[in-house]
Amino acid sequence: MKAPISARPTTREIRAGLDEVANALQGAIGLATLVRRNAQTVADDAVALEAAIGRAVSALKRLQPRSGPGRGTR
Q: Can you tell me the distance from the alpha carbon of 7 to that of 65, in angstroms, rounded to the nearest whole number? A: 86
Whole-number pLDDT of residue 7: 79
Number of H helices, E strands in the chain: 1, 0
The residue that leads in pLDDT, 2 or 21, is: 21
Does the pLDDT at position 18 exceed 90? Answer: yes
Q: Can you tell me the distance from the alpha carbon of 51 to that of 53, in angstroms, rounded to the nearest whole number? A: 5
Please give the average per-residue pLDDT across 11-40, as a whole number.
97
CB-based contacts of 74, cutoff 8 Å, min separation 6 = 64, 66, 67
